[in-house]
Amino acid sequence: MKLRKHHLLILVLVMVVGAVFVLYLYFTLRYMLGQDEGYAEDVGALRKILRKQICDALPSGATHISYIYERRCAVGRFQFIVPEKEFLSWAKRQGWNVERVISPESKTIWNPTLGTPRRVTIRDGYYYRRRNAETPPHNYLLLAYDNDTNTLYMGIAPPYKGDMFKK
């Protein structure tokens, strides 16, 4: 009789440990494959949420900033308003040679920052893409500027490992 109670106790213990492990695995994978998204009125407000390196990567005059951070590929995607002159001088200071896009040519990008993912086609604006082959997928940058709306769509994979959010 004692042996059966002992076996039953071990069986219950194994089931509890197994259930805890399954829950841990579920929530870990959900976090790792998930994303965070949000909105900030300007870069100053964004500094309260994101790491300094990310905020410093944006033009200081950016407003109406929406962002998404995809953990599975460590990529931050941003959409914000910035005047054309400020965008061009900011890009030049960074050493980025943006390509002019004028109709009938166009650039179509995937924009996940608007709540519902959609494609954005730029017929009058600027485009720049850089991928550092030495550290894939990190140190990736995509800029697509739309003159019609003064909107900059930006995708960036930070050159450091880890989350872009403040701890």
Encode pLDDT of 88-137 as tens digits.
Answer: 999 998 888 999 988 777 777 766 555 555 677 888 999 888 776 555 54
Whole-number pLDDT of residue 98: 92
Question: pTM of the entire structure?
Answer: 0.67
What pLDDT score does 164 carry?
46
Tell me the sheet residues that pair with 109: 120
pLDDT at 110: 63
Same-domain status, 80 and 129: yes
Note whether 121 and 153 are within 8 A (CB): no
Predicted local distance difference test score (pLDDT) of residue 87? 94
Whether residues 105 and 65 fall in one domain: yes
pLDDT lower than 50: segments of the chain:
137, 160-167
Residue 18 sits in the same domain as residue 42 = no
- Residue span of the structural domain in which 110 resides: 35-157
Query: Looking at the structure, do residues 68 and 142 belong to the same domain, yes or no?
Result: yes
Same domain assignment for residues 26 and 41? no
Q: pLDDT at position 163, please?
A: 46
Check whether residue 8 and residue 67 sit in a common domain. Answer: no
Same domain for 62 and 52: yes
Same domain, 28 and 55: no
Number of domains in the chain: 2
Residues 22 and 47 in one domain: no
25 and 73, same domain (yes or no): no
Q: Round to whole Å and give the CA distance between 154 and 167.
A: 23
* Cis amide prior to 104 (ω within 30 degrees): yes
For 112-150, where are the E strands, in sequence order? 118-131, 140-146
122 within 8 A of 99, measured Cβ to Cβ: no
29 and 71 belong to one structural domain = no
Domain presence at residue 163: no
- CB-based contact 117:111 (threshold 8 Å): yes
pLDDT computed for residue 111 by the predictor? 62
pLDDT at 116: 57
